[in-house]
Amino acid sequence: MSEKVLIYSPLPEERISELAEQFTVVTARQDSPEFREALSTATGLIGRGLEVDAQLLDQAPLLKVVSNISVGYDNLDITELTKRGILATNTPDVLTETTADAIFGLLIATARRIPELDKYVKEGHWDTRLHPSLFGVDVHGKKLGIIGLGKIGQAIARRGHFGFGMEILYHNRSRNPVAEKELGATYLEMDDLLQQADFVCLMAPQTPETVGMMSRREFELMKKSAIFINGSRGGLVNEDDLAAALKEGEILAAGLDVYVQEPIAKDHPFLDIPNLVTLPHIGSATAETRSNMEKMACRDLIAALKGETPEAVINEEVVANRV
């Protein structure tokens, strides 16, 4: 039987052709009847953002691999996929430096109030010397606290340490001796990091344990002069508590690239908070990086359907069981 690949989010024609040369290919939006029909005979799924859970997998009895075009995979029920012997892949590493660029850029933009002051100029308010009430804060020489010092977290830390002379503090599930040696990074318990850091950058993965990890208590522990940046997943933050912390002056400002629901609603309370910089989840959003992510996802999908081991397997137990 020919392998059937179901593409559920946009891919360039070059990638679609690459898959179509080897497999039967169906392209369908995940909310369409065509998607549900194709799912019943699909052996491979590729795209970004689809919630792959037991209910969906019950409709895909022939599925062998899910190729997620993202480094994050909280949309995949890995336990369920593993139980059914279905490979799951993602696209790590290829987006590390690009995402670190974006998140450090968000940090600078928030600290120096760049979006707010751009609007100030364009709306014609700049008619005299800038009033101190519109001043930002320095980035160089400050304490950068990173929660989740994985590959992207380390790339952000390198930018802060080598580029801006920042002192690196971090909290992680385990110590990172490489970062400690290279960057002089200091491991701290979560509460200590929150109390000491001038910038708190959240880069932890979303798991049942990390959902809502930044809430009222955590914001109250931070310095009133501190800035909070979230470049991980929106679900790690209690958004009501963050809005309250900003409005009540518990922290100085925040910059977000991720939200609980994306896109956020047009009446979301975040949109009325001047000391909050909001980006539309641009972490890996450059033409070069997105193209490389799509290439990697297709390579891994092809490898899996040919019985080979993909480059970026999330549930390696499935590979071990196939041998």
Q: What CA–CA distances, in Å, run from 296 to 41, 71, 178, 194, 226? A: 24, 11, 27, 37, 38
Tell me, what DSSP letter sits at residue 314?
S
125 tagged catalytic: no
Q: Which two tokens stand for residue 146?
A: 């990173």
Quote the distance between the C-alpha of residue 278 and its chain's center: 14
Cβ neighbours, 10 Å, residue 131 = 7
Sign of CA dihedral 76, 82, 87, 93: positive
Burial of 225 (0-12, 13-18, 19+ CB in 10 A): exposed
Tokens 């208590």 map to which residue?
A: 217
Cβ neighbours, 10 Å, residue 312 = 18
171 tagged catalytic: no
Catalytic one among 262, 308, 316, 317?
262
90 Rama class: left (phi>0) / alpha (psi -120 to 50) / beta: beta
Cβ neighbours, 10 Å, residue 323 = 5
Catalytic one among 220, 281, 299, 311?
281
Give the helix/strand (H/E) hosting 7: strand 4-7
Catalytic one among 233, 250, 290, 294?
233
Distance, in Å, from the CA atom of 277 to the CA atom of 275, rounded to the nearest integer, reads 7
Distance, in Å, from the CA atom of 227 to the CA atom of 110, rounded to the nearest integer, reads 8
Distance, in Å, from the CA atom of 66 to the CA atom of 24, rounded to the nearest integer, reads 16
233 tagged catalytic: yes
Q: Which residues are catalytic?
A: 233, 262, 281
